[in-house]
Structures are given as structure tokens and as C-alpha cells.
Chains A and B, each alone.
Chain A
Amino acid sequence: MKRFLAALILVSALGGCASLVQKAGDRFAENLGKAVLDSEDPATVRDGLPAYLLLIDSLIIDQKPGDAGNAPLLLAAAKLNGAYAGNFTGDDKPRAQRMARKALDYARRATCLQDKALCESLGRDPEQFSAVVQGNNNAVLMYALAASWAGYLQSNSEDWEAIADLPRIEALLLRAVALDPKLDGGQAYVYLGVLNSLRPEAVGGKPKQGRAYFEQAIGQSAGKNLYAKTLMAEYYARLVFDQELHDRLLNDVLAADPKAPGFTLINTLAQERAVKLLESGKEYF
């Protein structure tokens, strides 16, 4: 970290230009994200990432207020904080909630810097919000906002205001994948798969649609995204009570090589989760 700070200071001193520092910060956050995703040791990420999250916070503090160029670092920070909240906070719910809140705040700040119309629609009713989203073409921004929002909802599943925002998250994801189906290696479809596998068909849910989204995610990643299969088992197969599918998906995950660029960490986590799901599935089904 010292070396990185030194490098930043060096860049700053040499360039004497804030935009250079900004670009270096963006590049650092982006590369850190890649390194995290390619890690095959979740414990290292769990223990090591918090220090870098603080570092990124410090870079954000240093940003010139109101500059649209601040958005990439804010979005990278949102992604990393959200990922940490969702995967590495264990049973510490208040910690997960704090970090997920921070991730959503960063994503909202980035939204307001990059897209005034989307920013203003955040406070409007769900239908007005959806109308603005339908006219938006920034798939990356909408996806990043939706992912942070979904993470916030996951950490605050007893907060009715958060639950009530679910249609907004879905609207963002649907528009984002309509613009770019390959977004984040198909990961956007995983979110859609989960959201559509929460309500049973008997009360108006669309689990078949959920399954189709999971299959899209698997297809978009050419089968490399093992987390898509694990979550398909956990949410879809359990919702429709399909034990054969549940166990087959999880056994596939366990038999696969987790190493894949951009997916190694989540695949490793997917395998850990698959073991637990197979075990708890014996009681569930």
C-alpha cells in the first residue's frame, strides 16, 4: 500500500495535475477490483480488502466536488464495498448494513454526477422512475446502481422501504441487460434470476422467468459463472421444489474448475456455498 501511495504521490508530484491523480485512482480501483475477482483465496480478500477500501475512501474524500469524472472511482468503491458487505461480513449484520449503505450512497453519488435525469427520478414514484429508466442508455451506470441497491436490500431485508424499492432495482436491471446482455459477464442476469425467484407462482411470481434469467447468465459466461448455478439452485430450484435440479446444479458447481478470469473468487465462494446447500437440502426437500 505504501508503494502505491508513493506512486500516487509521485504521479501527483510529477504531473501536478488533479486529473492524473484521478485517473491513477480510477485505474487502481479498477485493477483492485480485477485482482479481487481473480483471487482464489476468499480469506485473503476478507482480511486484506478493508485496508484498500479505506484507501479508496481517502481518494474519494480528495475528489473535487461536482466533477462528473469522479463517477468511475465512486462506482468502483460501490462495487467493492457492496461485494464485501455481501460476502465477507459473516454474521455481523450491522457491519453488512453499514457497508451496503455506503456502497449505495457511492452509487447514488456517481449517478447524480453522471446522469441528472436518473438522479432526479430516484425520489419519484415507481412508475415515473421506470419511465426515466426506459429512456436511459447508460447500461453500466444503471447496472452499478442496481447492484448496489440489491446489495442494500439483501442487508436490509426487514426494511419495508428497501423491500418497496425492489421494482426499481428490477427496472434498472432490465433496461441495462436490454442495452447490453453481456454486461459484467452476464452477472446482471443473475440478479434478475434471484429477483424473479423470490415470489411463488401461486401469488403472482414468475419463477419460470427467473430460471430463464439464470440460464442466460450461465450462457453469457459460457458456463464460467458458477455462482449463477449456485444461486439458481438456492432460489429457483428450492422455490419450485425441484430437488433433482437443485442437486445437479450444485454437483456441477463442485465438479467445475473455479479458476476463470473475472470469476475465480465468486466461483470459489459459490463452491463453498454449494457444499452448505447440498447439506441443508437434505432437510429442505
Chain B
Amino acid sequence: MSTIFRCVMVLAFVFAATTAMAQQTIKLATVAPDGSGWMRELRAAAAEVQVQSQGRVTVKFFPGGVMGSDAVVLRKIRLGQLQGGALTGSDLDGICRDAPVYSLPFLFNNQAEVDAVRKVVDPMLTECFQKGGMRMLGLAGGGFAYLMSTHALNSRDDLRSSKVWVPANDRVGEMTFKNGGITTIPLPLADVFTSLQTGLVDTVANTTSGAVILQWHGKIKYMVDLPLSYIPAYVLVDEKAYAKLAPADQAILLRSFNAAMNRIDAANRRENVQALAAIKKGGTQVLTPSPTEATRWREIGVTTTRQLDKANTFTPAVMANIHRILATQRGGK
């Protein structure tokens, strides 16, 4: 009798476990609107997951920021209302303290440096997010943000008389401009377009494709040709939701979304070049700082990074790797 009972219990358990693994829905939020290149690739990944997992895993999207800001999305993930998102904000440092590391000011001079660093540091970020309870399915670079303004920024000093926007809650951004003696106007991204129109701000930073998509380019007359900050976006899934998937389905999810983020990364590189050509054609002047002036700009970045290093903001091993790789890239200087 007890053997039968045990068998029944085991069967019931197996049945329950199979049912639990039979169908999982991963709800992901993103600010990218449906129909955008980002969403096309993410939906392609979701379709691939659906087919390859034979319907066991469904990925459902909430695009267009309908679930709120990154901070709100993260709260909803904690409450189990969402399982993840494609996120870019500095709010991610609460999960992984190294999340904003690629966006340090004037850290990179070009894409080749980014590529060399990412080869080593991306896996470290994956581990960092995992420790914070999130599985990183992929990372795509949005490209470099550049300073853009309604008036000429021929020197660092020109910024002092400018109305400079920084994203609300962007601690590193505020610290950077403060180090340059520049007063900033923190605003949510949603308010920047109107603020450029009304003149509340006159200087912003964005990727070239971002400036066109958000229609800031109509107001922008000048762009400083010096990469200010590299903008990454992460697709993250709550570890608890990830753990509910069978190992084979976890692999499918990782593979499909990682490939999609790589495609997005490649597309962003092309699109930023095309967007730059478009805004130049529209009349925006690209200002190339002299070597002396470029060094003055970069000094702000160096100071900011040193302060953050000193405050132990980022994992020392991550920073050590970044400094080492960049030194090698720059000829061991």
C-alpha cells in the first residue's frame, strides 16, 4: 500500500513538475515601440523560442514604455508582474553595480576599443547580473552618445553657459558635468523634446540615430565629434522565472535572444552612420575639437572615473580589465 502510495506521489510530483514546465510565459517590457528595428528582432527571437521549445516557452512583449520607466519595470519584475525587460537606464546599478560601466564619460575613443573591452567584460557583467538575480540574455550597443547643441560648442568652456540636459537619476552624468564646472538640468527622457522646443535645455547628448528617432535633430545645429558615452541595452530575465524553464529551454532562450541582440548591435552601428549623414544633410554642423581641446574634454572623463574608482563604485576586477585592455589598444601608453 505504501509502495503504491509512494508511486502515486512520485507520479503526481512528476506530473506537477511537467505541467509547471509545460508552458512558461516570459513577459518582457521595453521602451522600444512596436515596429521599430529593435522590436522586429526581439519578436523574431521570441518566435524562434516558441518554435524551438515546441510551445513550452512564450515570450510576450510590452513595448512602447507602456509598463513605465526602467525603475517601474524593475519594481514590477520584483513583484512578479513582469519577468524581464530590455533596459538601458542607470537604474540597473541596483542589480549589478557594474551595469553603467560602459557609459563612463569619454571612456572609449572608438568602436574598436569597445569591441576589445566587451570581449572580456561582457561575461563579467553576465555574472554580475546573475548575482543580482537577473539572467542577461544579451547586450546590444546603441552606439556612442555625442554632445549636441542649438549653439556652437567650440570648447569645453562653451558648455558653462549652456543649458545642459542630463537624464534624471543619472548620477555618473551629473558627476561628469559637475567635474567640468557645468550646471545641468536633470529631466526624464520624455521631457527632452519639448524642453528643446521651449529652450529649457539647449544642449543634450544622444546617439545620432537616437537624435533622429526622437526628432531632436530638428533643433540640433551642432554636434561635437567626440564620443561622450557608450550606450548599452540589456535584455534581462528574472532568475526565478529563468530557473523554472527546463535546461534545454533555457539554452534556446539564451541563444535566440543573444543572437537577436547581436543583430541589433550590428544594425545600430550601420544606422548611426546613416543617421549622422542624414542630420549633416539637414544642416547640423559636426565640430571636430582640436587635439588640445579633445584632451581637455577627456580630462573630465578621467577625473570622473578616478572618483568612481576611489569610491569603489565598480568591481575592481572589471575596472582593472577595462584599463588594461584600453592601454593595450592605445599602444601600451
Binding site for B on A (CB under 8 A): 124-128, 158-161, 163-164, 166-167, 198-205, 238-241, 284
Contact = CB atoms under 8 A, between A and B. Distances in A.
15 contacts: A125-B283, A126-B282, A126-B283, A127-B218, A158-B37, A160-B274, A160-B277, A164-B279, A166-B215, A198-B33, A200-B33, A200-B64, A202-B69, A202-B190, A239-B66
A164 B62 CA distance: 26
A79 B286 CA distance: 37
Given A126-B217, A205-B33, 12 more contacts: A125-B284, A160-B209, A160-B271, A161-B278, A163-B213, A163-B275, A164-B278, A202-B65, A202-B189, A203-B189, A238-B64, A241-B62
Interface stretch (B75-83, B191-199, B227-235, B296-304): B191-199
A167 B283 contact: no
A240 B284 CA distance: 33
Nearest to B276: A160
A238 B213 contact: no
B65 A164 contact: no
B282 A199 contact: no
B173 to A, nearest CB: 17
Given A127-B218, A163-B212, A202 B31 contact: yes
B309 interface: no
Contacts of A202: 31, 64-65, 68-69, 189-190
**Closest 9 A/B residue pairs (Cβ):** A202-B65, A125-B283, A204-B193, A200-B64, A160-B274, A164-B278, A126-B218, A241-B66, A160-B278
B119 interface: no
B282 A200 contact: no
Interface in B262-315: 271, 274-275, 277-279, 281-284
Interface residues of B, number: 37
B158 interface: no
Interface in B224-274: 271, 274
B115 interface: no
Contacts of B284: 125
B31 A167 contact: no
B157 interface: no
Contacts of A158: 37
B11 interface: no
A158 B221 CA distance: 23
Contact of A204 (B69, B189, B217, B281): B189
A199 B31 contact: no
Interface centre among B189, B219, B274, B282 (most CB of A within 10 A): B282
Contacts of B221: 125
Contacts of B327: none
A198 B35 CA distance: 9
A204 B213 contact: no
A239 to B, nearest CB: 5
Contact of A201 (B190, B212, B277): B190
A198 B281 CA distance: 23
B214 interface: yes
A89 to B, nearest CB: 18
Contact of B215 (A160, A167, A239): A167
Contacts of A125: 221, 282-284
A199 B33 contact: yes
Given A125-B282, A160-B209, A204-B189, A199 B214 contact: yes
Contacts of B213: 163, 199, 203
Contacts of A239: 33-34, 64, 66
Contacts of A200: 31, 33, 63-66
Interface in B57-76: 62-66, 68-69
A200 B61 CA distance: 15
Contact of B66 (A160, A198, A203, A240): A240
B65 A201 contact: yes
Given A160-B275, A200-B31, A204-B193, A167 B218 contact: yes
Contacts of A201: 65, 190
A124 B190 CA distance: 28
A103 B193 CA distance: 31
A164 B275 contact: yes
Nearest to A242: B66
Interface string B22-62: 00000000010111010000000000000000000000001
